[in-house]
Amino acid sequence: MFTFRYHVVSLAAVFVALVVGILVGIGISGRGFVDRSERQQLQNQIDDLRNQRDDVIAQLAFSQKRQKAAQEYVANTYRAVMSERLRGKRIAVLFVGHIDPSMRANVDDTLSAADAPAALRVRALKTPVDPAALDAVLTKRPAFAQYSGNAKLEDLGRALGEEFVVGGDTPLWTALSDLLVEERSGPPRRPADGVIVVRSAGPQEGPTARLLSGLYSGLAAGGVPVVGVETTKTTPSAVGTYAHAGFSSVDDVDILEGRVALALLLSGADPGHYGIKQSASTGYLPQVEPLPVATTSG
């Protein structure tokens, strides 16, 4: 994105180059190669460029004031916009990779500010997976034989994704937890009203990629909002993966605007890809709808 600051730097570079050229021209004119009218024309160009530079610097100062005012507005209205937004919503959190403390804090702040309970359950998946170890467990149980083998990894992932959303007995998660789960908290039984996905590991290949593809498909089919999140500094971005899986995404959950977007999506706002990076193809924020006003009978 080109900003006023970029414009000023570019203009300054052009200004310096032109001034050097003009000074050379003036020096040549002093030796009789440039007449008086041409010299005046060069001086006019310098004056015009100075005026352009001053105008852009003034615009930059104004833009910075507007940006600061917008940031103060967001900070001052954050709690009001978030209040009650997720009250009573049970949100499950899935880390693909280790639990990143800063990302966990961003998620927890979002849920707390929106008056949601603490995360319903949190699971951190080990990556990469060991297909042979998974098969060793699956083949011992007739009910799981349909998921054994590399060709069935997507089916296995899809079933795991569905269990993660729906809750209940979650037999696959129970059987494979030691192989798949690095960290866990929260009970598995209650159904989730929404899911947050955080990819803390790098992009995966081979069997792990196939398992994850199925897992994402199972989450997306659960009938609740699923939102993949990352920060403004996350590289490589996972937004493309989230989009391919059919999730919404927020690429700036480390700032207040991103946490508002996350809460809005989990509460049922229009799905899409929101944030401030180029990956935010839908916009900065979903539409902010006012919450219903509670009425009392008298």
Query: Cα separation of 14 and 22, whole Å?
Result: 12
Would you list the domain boundaries of the chain? Answer: 4-81, 88-274
Per-residue tokens: 154: 């997507």
265: number of Cβ within 10 Å: 25
- What backbone torsions phi and psi does residue 195 show, to the nearest 5 degrees? -135, 135
- DSSP code of 123? E
Give whole-number Cα distances, 194 to 121, 132, 159, 199, 231, in Å: 11, 32, 17, 17, 20
pLDDT tens, per residue, the chain with 298 residues:
444 555 555 656 666 666 666 666 556 555 555 577 877 887 888 888 888 888 888 788 777 777 676 667 666 788 999 999 999 999 999 999 999 999 999 999 999 999 999 999 999 999 999 999 999 999 999 999 999 999 999 999 999 999 999 999 999 999 999 999 999 999 999 999 999 999 999 999 999 999 999 999 999 999 999 999 999 999 999 999 999 999 999 999 999 999 999 999 999 999 999 999 998 999 999 999 888 766 555 5
Query: Cα separation of 88 and 95, whole Å?
Result: 22
SS (H, E, C) 245-256: HCCEEECCCCCH
3-class DSSP assignment, residue 35 = coil
In 3D space, the residue among 101, 11, 98 whose CA is nearest the CA of residue 51 turns out to be 11
Sheet with 194-199, edge to edge strand ranges: 181-185, 121-125, 91-96, 194-199, 226-229, 248-250, 273-274
pTM to 2 decimal places = 0.80
3-class DSSP assignment, residue 204 = coil
Peptide bond into 236 cis (omega under 30): yes
One of 3.90.79, 3.30.1490, 3.90.120, 3.40.50 is the CATH number of 88-274, namely: 3.40.50
3-class DSSP assignment, residue 91 = strand
111: number of Cβ within 10 Å: 26
- DSSP code of 180? H
